[in-house]
Copies of this chain bind each other. A is one copy, B any other.
Amino acid sequence: MTQLLRSRAELRAVLTSLPRPVGLVPTMGWLHDGHRSLIRRARSENRTVVATIFVNPRQFNRAEDFSKYPRNEARDVQICAEEGVNIVWAPPVDEVFVPGFDTTISVGAIAMPLEGAARPGHFDGVATVVAILFGLVGAEHAYFGQKDAQQVMVIRQMARDLALPTQVIACATVREPDGLALSSRNVHLRPAERAAAPVLRQALLAAAAQWRLGERSGEALRTMLRSTLAGVPLAQPEYVSVADALTLGELDRIEGTALLSLAVRFGSTRLIDNELLEWPG
């Protein structure tokens, strides 16, 4: 049975009666098969699964992006029920950020480049809301999609640094047949943009192929990413990156595991994707 709860108090009360370990799947709703894969992994590793649906205003640096983020709670709850989620917590804002809320968690260097640079304040908002969810649910495990690779790194650092008892587990990106990473934002793509969007994946695969052939220059791979994107007029690149997979520092030479990542706009819709180059290849 799936219970839909709204308040902190209800959540805590119901959790005390459910068996451990608890797996947490934090979401912003508009669930897709990527979320289903997180829930299934949580289901397989825990006796209780909690999914949260909360569009966190503090992680949007642009108000417009927040207001137009897609929402369909009834459908989300239905998906959670199908997947055997025990608790769906879909709180109003003031059950997450209580009245008078005034605390910020900031992660340092790992949160600075890429999404941190492109979206000021974004990772403070992410780290803070995730710490609250971890505090409330007290889960043994929490599941996040590898599509948001830097987010996983920021949350993992925060959880480790603050000795939070929740283990952060990254799950493989789920994709459309043409390679586009699933994202709630894909719904905003116009038909021509949707047709062009697989270029993110194509650019990453082209650069990864060069790397497997022995290319070790970071700049050569960044150029490959840029030139692939340049072949698609609708794609407006925001950044391309070939970075150390632990520090996210941009690499001149690839001499360890690297993370290829990029952010690209299609009209008003911003998409990201990434590919890990495991060392040794």
Contacts and interface: CB of A to CB of B under 8 A. Distances in A.
A102 interface: yes
A106 B102 CA distance: 8
What secondary structure prevails in chain A residues at the interface with B? mixed
A100 B158 CA distance: 11
A279 interface: no
Interface in A97-121: 97-98, 100-110
Among A104, A108, A160: residue with most chain B CB under 10 A: A104
Among A100, A103, A109, A131: residue with most chain B CB under 10 A: A103
Contacts of A131: 162
Interface string A1-44: 00000001000000000000000000000000000000000000
Interface in A152-170: 157-158, 160-165
A103 B135 contact: no
Q: Chain copies in the assembly?
A: 2
A101 to B, nearest CB: 5
A132 interface: yes
A157 B104 CA distance: 11
Nearest to A97: B161
A103 B8 contact: no
Among A8, A98, A161: residue with most chain B CB under 10 A: A161
Contacts of A107: 102-103
A198 interface: no
Interface string A226-242: 00000000000000000
Contacts of A108: 102-104
Interface residues of A, number: 29
A138 interface: yes
Contacts of A172: none
A242 B107 CA distance: 35
Contacts of A102: 107-110, 157, 161
5 contacts: A98-B160, A102-B109, A103-B105, A103-B106, A104-B108
Nearest to A108: B102
A136 interface: yes
Nearest to A161: B103
